[in-house]
């Protein structure tokens, strides 16, 4: 049975006092669960605050080189040395705003595999691709490109997050039919690429998940949890999503 995952992607939000307040409220709530894991992906300066609070702490980004003259970047070894447990790769904001292409994303995937470092690979189509009706081919091509250096033996490191770009931060999540269609296509594609081990890869949905739509989204087949931006910044709202995941 695949483990469910609820992951908070804080992006470039929250000051240190706000992180402290988030963690304070977090400690007052009941996060117990069967077969589900909670993760927080904060700005890098707060990684150790998250780790010390006993939460799964993940980085929002990583560079594929081991060390050297790469100003502003973080290596896998550096992240592991402070207890970071996983990383986001290929978020659409990295791809669009910071020009990360499929080649770079594949290099990051390969570096994670070499270091046995778990990662969430984000994929998703833009609005014009959705309108043209080529969204399935577009997302599956991203997966083929991004995962081409990953072998089946390293598949246990992979979580996929399907995040339609038009749904991120827009308040307009994909509808249940759209989510079901894409998550099934991703599942089939993982099995095509990696054989039956592809059934074990958790596939998350992301894009305007909130307290009102979470339970319905989590009930879709092949949705193993969510990657959540805006609704993760308030621990009380995030806790409602956690409850919806158990429902």
d(CA 210, CA 224): 16
Cα 9 to chain centroid, rounded = 8
Query: Which one is catalytic: 91, 135, 189, 239?
Result: 91
Q: What is the dihedral of CA 76, 78, 81, 83, to 10 degrees?
A: -60
Question: Residue 12 or residue 69: which is nearer to ligand PGA going by CB?
Answer: 12
Q: Which residues bind ligand PGA (CB under 6 A)?
A: 9, 163, 168-169, 206-209, 227-231
Question: Residue 75 or residue 208: which is nearer to ligand PGA going by CB?
Answer: 208
CA angle 111, 114, 115 (to 5 degrees): 90
Instruction: For residue 120, give the nearest of 162, 167, 165 by alpha carbon.
Output: 162
d(CA 127, CA 48): 36
Instruction: For residue 36, give the nearest of 224, 198, 230 by alpha carbon.
Output: 224
- Residue whose CB is nearest to ligand PGA in the complex, by number: 229
CA angle 29, 33, 37 (to 5 degrees): 95
Count Cα neighbours of 83 within 13 Å in the Cβ-side half-sphere. 13
Question: Residue 157 or residue 168: which is nearer to ligand PGA going by CB?
Answer: 168
Question: Residue 61 or residue 208: which is nearer to ligand PGA going by CB?
Answer: 208
- Is-catalytic flag, 145? no
Instruction: For residue 186, give the nearest of 171, 170, 202 by alpha carbon.
Output: 202
- Is-catalytic flag, 163? yes
Query: C-beta of 90: minimal distance to ligand PGA in Å?
Result: 11
Query: C-beta of 60: minimal distance to ligand PGA in Å?
Result: 10
Question: Residue 111 or residue 165: which is nearer to ligand PGA going by CB?
Answer: 165
Query: C-beta of 19: minimal distance to ligand PGA in Å?
Result: 18
Query: C-beta of 208: minimal distance to ligand PGA in Å?
Result: 4
Identify the H or E element spanning 40.
strand 36-41
Query: Which one is catalytic: 135, 163, 189, 239?
Result: 163
Which residues are designated catalytic? 91, 163
């Amino acid at each position: 049975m695949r483990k469910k995952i609820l992951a908070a992607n804080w992006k470039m939000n929250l000051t240190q006092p706000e992180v402290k307040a988030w963690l304070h409220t977090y400690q007052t709530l009941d996060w117990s669960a069967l077969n589900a894991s909670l993760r927080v992906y904060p700005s890098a300066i707060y990684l150790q605050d998250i780790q010390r609070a006993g939460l799964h702490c993940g980085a929002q980004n990583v560079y594929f080189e081991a060390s050297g003259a790469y100003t502003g970047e973080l290596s896998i070894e550096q992240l592991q040395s402070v207890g970071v447990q996983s990383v986001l790769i290929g978020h659409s904001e990295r791809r669009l705003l910071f020009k990360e292409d499929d080649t770079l994303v594949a290099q990051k995937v390969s570096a994670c595999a070499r270091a046995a470092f778990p990662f969430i690979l984000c994929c998703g189509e833009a609005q014009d691709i959705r309108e043209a009706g080529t969204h399935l081919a577009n997302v599956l091509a991203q997966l083929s490109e991004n995962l081409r250096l990953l072998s089946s033996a390293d598949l246990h490191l992979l979580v996929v997050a399907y995040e339609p770009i038009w749904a991120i931060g827009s308040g307009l999540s994909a509808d249940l039919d759209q989510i079901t269609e894409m998550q099934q296509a991703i599942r089939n594609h993982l099995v095509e690429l990696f054989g039956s081990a592809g059934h074990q890869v958790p596939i998350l949905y992301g894009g305007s998940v909130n307290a009102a739509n979470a339970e319905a989204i989590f009930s879709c087949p092949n949705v193993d949890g969510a990657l959540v931006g805006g609704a993760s910044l308030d621990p009380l709202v995030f806790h409602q999503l956690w409850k919806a995941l158990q429902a």
